Structure 1
Amino acid sequence: MSLIKSISGIRGTIGGRVNDNLTPLDVVKFASAFGTWLQNNKNKKDLTLIIGRDARISGLMVNSLVTATLQGLGINVIDLGLSTTPTVEIMVPELNADGGIILTASHNPKQWNALKLLNEKGEFITGENGAEVLALAESEDFNYAEVDDLGKYETRDDAFDIHIQQILDLPMVDVEAIKAKKFKVILDAVNSTGGIAIPMLLDKLGCETVKLYCEPNGQFPHNPEPLKEHLGDICELIKKEGADVGVVVDPDVDRLALIDEKGEMFGEEYTLVAVADYLLKNKNGVAISNLSSSRALRDVAQSHNSEYFASAVGEVNVVTLMKEKNAVIGGEGNGGIIYPELHYGRDSLVGVALFLTHLAKENKTVSELRAGYPSYFMGKKKIELTPEINVDDILSKMEKEYQNENVSTIDGVKIDFENNWVHLRKSNTEPIIRIYTEAKSQEEADKLGDDIIAKIKSLI
């Protein structure tokens, strides 16, 4: 059991002891801190926050605690109920709210929940702002409203309709082209809110949807992270049903994994690659991902005479660089699509619409589409160091060791070789260096990781 306090929010397991787990008192304290921080930083009296949650078993309880706490501070609450992360992000500016809180622990198992914090743009608050919220939570310097000044509470049940209509209105989403194909889609929504939102979208796109684990009851039938080892059921069902494509989302619907008509994984790194291929084919521009994402995105961008840049790991960092470079498309290699024409947040719904448009226009099967992209394989390793070893010193030595290569130090040390790369990042909580590699074969990626571990050990 654990409680993780970070600049992006608070996450923990339900039950247990205060300050060790996500207990009711911890939820109230953190909601109080965010509400108080907003009051301290907004030059207005009446504040309104948008709240939405995934289908976790603990969601309604946490929602009740958060909304009541905000009302107790004198903040108005608009409660979307069962929602998705991108839907809440869209509804904050749509309703001219001052911020939002998403109640979801993303791909973590069912015993986890979290509070994710949004600013008035519907984007995650900055690291600096997050640190200020954490400091307020520690100080417990809260001033609750008197009875005549309590916040108002209302609900909305049209958020999915608004989100989906905004997607259908995008010029790069060709609804008629998708409808003409009459795609048969298998959906695994891990019994969370994707089981509500994605079928609504697919219906508007004229697709036949076969639902698998789409009952939003929070009882996850498998590990909710959309990785190959967790998705055997949908892979088998695609072959049985003769479907065109499989769609898998995580509990809060900000990560999108695709499966081809043969029941084979498209590759979570390649969700972003395929969407970028479609967009950059029609408009030259900039594509952004993070340093640990596949080189395939760079290759596809260059094939369309477009530029590619990499940010530090983390959605906030990707968004910051996207704004700086005025990117056409961005995201993360875990299946996170960020399409700024809609909003600056990872959004599986817009990812589905853009991918199906691409698939329809290419007139290919999903496996044929995937075969047209460069194939890379990733490896993930770690090296555990003794506490007295200075990790920053090791990373500095590695940077110097490979100074003749293309080296980035914006987030650990990434070394780009001609045919592969390695990314070294230190853990914030333990003396560990995480080692990410990518190459043209799995064997090569794994060997590169082993070689780098050997090099690090030689420098200690």
Structure 2
Amino acid sequence: MSLIKSISGIRGTIGGKINDNLTPLDVVKFASAFGTWLQNNKNKKDLTLIIGRDARISGQMVSSLVTATLQGLGINVVDLGLSTTPTVEVMVPELNADGGIILTASHNPKQWNALKLLNEKGEFISGENGAEVLALAESEDFNYAEVDDLGKYETRDDAFDIHIQQILDLPMIDVEAIKAKNFKVVLDAVNSTGGIAIPMLLDKLGCETIKLYCEPTGHFPHNPEPLKEHLGDICELVKKENADLGVVVDPDVDRLALIDEKGEMFGEEYTLVAVADYLLKHKKGAAISNLSSSRALRDVANAHDSEYFASAVGEVNVVTLMKEKNAVIGGEGNGGIIYPELHYGRDSLVGVALFLTHLAKENKTVSELRAGYPSYFMGKKKIELTPEIDVDAILSKMEKEYQNEDVSTVDGVKIDFENNWVHLRKSNTEPIIRIYTEAKSQEEADQLGDDIIAKIKSLI
């Protein structure tokens, strides 16, 4: 079964059986549910939705199904075509639309696709709203429009230009400082829409772009999650071209990974750390990430006399806490930059512009910049339990076991020790506890994970 229904949308593999995979009927049902939910909650007759898609092979088919369904409900559609997640998010309020749907499965392999649902602010709908949409999909209580009331359809081809101009207009983006450096940048866009958008931005910033996998064919040349083990080609090309840095984005361009001039990973966790370092240097305020993100962000915030807060895992939770704390910067350790001066969504384009501004002003190489940040190493393990074991009870015992440490129960159990931390989260689908650790060395992070597993087993 490869159909995942969640509060943020529906995701699955293309083909197969209804309700088991993302079939045409499933696409129509969930598009109908979201459109109907909007109609039920808006006090207006004419509704408009923005849609855009990444370059997945199934994208055009899914887009056609979603468009026709919304029109069938009497909802107008503005189709951006090939786009990015942050571009769709920016365009919803730009066009005063009532919501949006992004057709992307983010970093999942090419057989996956998804409908990600946005409200009128261009932000992911809340958990409560998502539950209401799922309930509507289950009930199939839809009322389609008669022929004279079908929704209108139009396309826009200026969305990237609008998004990029909004970035260039930000006070914290120093276009002239970047241009003066004539940066040489290698870009791996995994043959999706980052291969269109990022070069447009880099050109405006006066950078030379060397393209690797930038044709938006949807045939991903490697696993599209931007992790070290998938990025050997760009690391080699950065060295071969004597480039200043490498930029890697996932298929929908909301995650940003960087490569230094030596062909070494900057570290996904450190994308947010570097951007926060630049911004907090000029404006004190809160920095936000989730509980499973690196402690390095806290260290940088403290160095600038700013506060750091951690949310539950999930972009919606990060955004909620950012608004509550009026944060200067936030995001996730997977390379997701959320800069509220532009919009409340992970955005690799603004991340690139902020990082290049920081790099230009520091007058350092990328490796020198990275060397200035505290070094932490992360470990990820899991412990599989038998179905009859109460996972919540185990987590409660762990909380009590370490009650004299700094413990958070916002999302699972996170224990902050003086020199390292561990975060325990239960799986929603199987009897598993996921164990995330961070320490000053990989060996220490892995050992901490093993020690915690042994402690859990002793409590069962």
Match of 1:373, SS state, is: coil
Deviation at 1:15, TM superposition (A): 0.4
Deviation at 1:307, TM superposition (A): 0.4
Match of 1:122, SS state, is: coil
Deviation at 1:180, TM superposition (A): 0.0
CA distance in 2, matches of 1:113, 1:77: 20
CA distance in 2, matches of 1:170, 1:399: 44
Aligned residue runs from structure 1 range 87-236, under 5 A: 87-236=87-236
CA distance in 2, matches of 1:245, 1:278: 18
Q: Deviations over 1:120-156 (max 9, x none)?
A: 0000000110000000001000000000000000000
Deviation at 1:295, TM superposition (A): 0.0
Q: Deviations over 1:291-337 (max 9, x none)?
A: 00000000000000000000000000000000000000000000000
CA distance in 1, matches of 2:323, 2:128: 18
CA distance in 2, matches of 1:345, 1:104: 15
CA distance in 1, matches of 2:63, 2:242: 40
Deviation at 1:414, TM superposition (A): 0.1
Q: Deviations over 1:327-371 (max 9, x none)?
A: 000000000000000000000000000000000000000000000
Q: Deviations over 1:140-175 (max 9, x none)?
A: 000000000000000000000000000000000000
Q: Deviations over 1:66-113 (max 9, x none)?
A: 000000000000000000000000000000000000000000000000
Match of 1:389, SS state, is: coil
Is the counterpart of residue 439 in structure 1 residue 436 in structure 2?
no
Q: Deviations over 1:22-62 (max 9, x none)?
A: 00000000000000000000010000000000000000000
CA distance in 2, matches of 1:176, 1:2: 48
CA distance in 2, matches of 1:44, 1:27: 25
CA distance in 1, matches of 2:401, 2:368: 41
CA distance in 1, matches of 2:8, 2:169: 31
Q: Deviations over 1:184-212 (max 9, x none)?
A: 00000000000000000000000000000
Match of 1:144, SS state, is: coil
Equivalence for 1:274: 274
TM value normalised by structure 1: 1.00
CA distance in 2, matches of 1:43, 1:152: 19
Pairs aligned (count): 460
CA distance in 2, matches of 1:393, 1:28: 40
CA distance in 1, matches of 2:71, 2:284: 47
CA distance in 1, matches of 2:435, 2:139: 37
Deviation at 1:423, TM superposition (A): 0.1
| Moved >3 Å (runs of 4+) | none
CA distance in 2, matches of 1:217, 1:65: 20
Structure 2: gaps of 5 or more residues:
none
Q: Deviations over 1:1-31 (max 9, x none)?
A: 5110011100000000000000000000000
CA distance in 2, matches of 1:433, 1:457: 11
Deviation at 1:393, TM superposition (A): 0.2
CA distance in 1, matches of 2:8, 2:453: 31
CA distance in 1, matches of 2:207, 2:328: 27
CA distance in 2, matches of 1:361, 1:95: 35
Match of 1:12, SS state, is: strand
Match of 1:190, SS state, is: coil
Match of 1:403, SS state, is: coil
CA distance in 1, matches of 2:259, 2:209: 14
Aligned residue runs from structure 1 range 26-65, under 5 A: 26-65=26-65
CA distance in 1, matches of 2:231, 2:241: 16
CA distance in 2, matches of 1:409, 1:20: 34
Match of 2:252, SS state, is: coil
Deviation at 1:279, TM superposition (A): 0.2
Q: Give the % identical residues.
A: 94
Match of 1:458, SS state, is: helix
